[in-house]
Amino acid sequence: MIRLEKRPQPSQAWSLATPLVAVLATMIAGGLLFAALGKPPIEAIRTIFWEPLFGEFSFYYRPQLLIKGAPLVLIAIGLSLGFKAGIWNIGAEGQYIMGALTGAGVGLAFYPIEGWYVFPLMILAGAFGGWLWAMIPAILKTRFGTNEILVSLMLVYVAEQLLASMSLGLLKNPEGYGFPGSRNLQQYESAHNAELIANSGLHLGVVAAFIAVIFAYVLLNRHMLGFHIRLTGEAPRAARFAGVNPTRLILFCLGTSGALAGLAGLFEVSGPAGQVSIDFNVGYGFTAIIVAFLGRLHPVGILLAGGLMALTYIGGDIAQSNLGLPSSAIQVFQGMLLFFLLAFDLLTNFRIRLGAPETA
């Protein structure tokens, strides 16, 4: 009989090894899945993990890796702060949309004035939009004890409706021949989040993601606020005893994750996407939840996990077009990654014993 025995100390080795083991297990189980679908498994795995980085067209895919990875990392870093404290912001997708709307809105309001101040103002507006959207569940939770999971999630759908309404109405391009969608910010120099180095994929959002990683690392390891966040997640009563004000912590965690998601939205709308459109959001806010956990809520882990997730996105696209893999198979593949990670995660705190059960 197999049973689990709690370790006296969490295992350091396993906490580092589980992401790798999980990726390996995903490759094996994913390979079996692809084989069952009648596709060559090894080729499919190779296409997903190898092709984007070192394949024939990697000069095109590598920049994509940064473009897709940056918003994931930026959002996941914000989410991880709350998740560590047991505050569950599931609505980053909505905050991402709101950041894009408010940021793009400010930019479009200045059109066609060119000025150095336009883009900084857009950044502030983007962060503010996301922050404001996250403050709704935060204030409802602290005032009335509502569940932030439900409220933040439902606000995603409100934000999506708002996005549709904006791209059909207020922000619609007046010179767009009636098509939905705003002016293209890529063609408005002062508001364009251009690549810092041509064809590298490196735009300001990527820089912001790296800064967020460093900021989160310092906060969690060197600052009292980060210590209080971790303490609240591990032992809420001990946190109160240590002087943590739960209300302030909820406001901070939800606010920060909202602001970072809003920033991600702004960098996306003013750069790679270029315009506010009905189908602007592609689920970064939800995928970032997986990234946050895949990275074990650790800033550096999230950086790696964001890269890995971006890789499976791009590799999955290639596998779809080259091998004809169905897109749902790719989604299952990505889901497996989180599943295996959570499963192997158990080994950090438990060890597997074979033998008869015993209560000691």
Partner 1 sequence: MTDPLLSLSGVTKAYPGVIANDQVSLTIQPGEVHALLGENGAGKSTLVKMIYGLVKPDSGEMKLNGAAFAPAEPRQARADGIAMVFQHFSLFDALNVAENIALGMENPPKMRDLARRIRDVSQTYGLPLDPSRRVGDLSAGERQRVEIIRCLLQDPKLLIMDEPTSVLTPQEVGILFETLRKLRSEGTSILYISHKLEEIRSLCDAATILRLGKNVGSCIPSDTSARDMAEMMVGSALKTPARSTRSFGDSALEVQNLTVSAPSEFGTTLRDISLTLRQGEILGIGGVAGNGQDELLSVLSGELSTSPASVQLNGHSIGHLGPNQRRGLGLLSAPEERLGHAAAPDMSLTENAMLTGAVREKLAQGGFLKWGAARGFAARIIEAFDVRTPGTENAARALSGGNLQKFVIGREVLQNPKVLVVNQPTWGVDAAAAAAIRQSLLDLAAEGAAILCISQDLDELMEISDIFAALNEGRLSPPRETTGLTVEEIGLMMGGAHGMEVAHV
* Contacting positions for partner 1 (CB under 8 A): 8-10, 222-225, 227, 230-231, 234-235, 237-243, 245, 358-360
Q: How far is the CB of 158 from partner 1 (least distance, A)?
A: 34
- Toward partner 1, which CB reaches closer, 174 or 243? 243
Q: How far is the CB of 237 from partner 1 (least distance, A)?
A: 4
- Toward partner 1, which CB reaches closer, 51 or 345? 345
Query: CA-to-CA distance for 3 and 314, rounded, in angstroms?
Result: 40
- Toward partner 1, which CB reaches closer, 328 or 359? 359
Distances, alpha carbon 282 to alpha carbons 68, 142, 226, in Å: 11, 31, 31
Q: How far is the CB of 234 from partner 1 (least distance, A)?
A: 5
Cα of first residue to Cα of last residue in the chain, in angstroms, is: 17
Q: How far is the CB of 144 from partner 1 (least distance, A)?
A: 18
Query: CA-to-CA distance for 88 and 355, rounded, in angstroms?
Result: 38
DSSP code at position 333: H
Q: How far is the CB of 239 from partner 1 (least distance, A)?
A: 8
Tokens of 319: 């596998």
Distances, alpha carbon 11 to alpha carbons 7, 33, 34, 148, 193, in Å: 8, 32, 34, 32, 44
- Toward partner 1, which CB reaches closer, 11 or 184? 11
Our CA angle for 233, 234, 237, nearest 5°, is: 90
Q: Which residues contact 317 (CB under 8 A, 6 or more apart)?
A: none
Q: How far is the CB of 276 from partner 1 (least distance, A)?
A: 38
- Toward partner 1, which CB reaches closer, 32 or 235? 235
Please give the radius of gyration of the chain, using alpha carbons only, rounded to the nearest integer. Answer: 22
Distances, alpha carbon 295 to alpha carbons 53, 73, 242, 340, in Å: 20, 10, 28, 13
- Toward partner 1, which CB reaches closer, 28 or 218? 218
3-state secondary structure (DSSP) of residue 65: helix
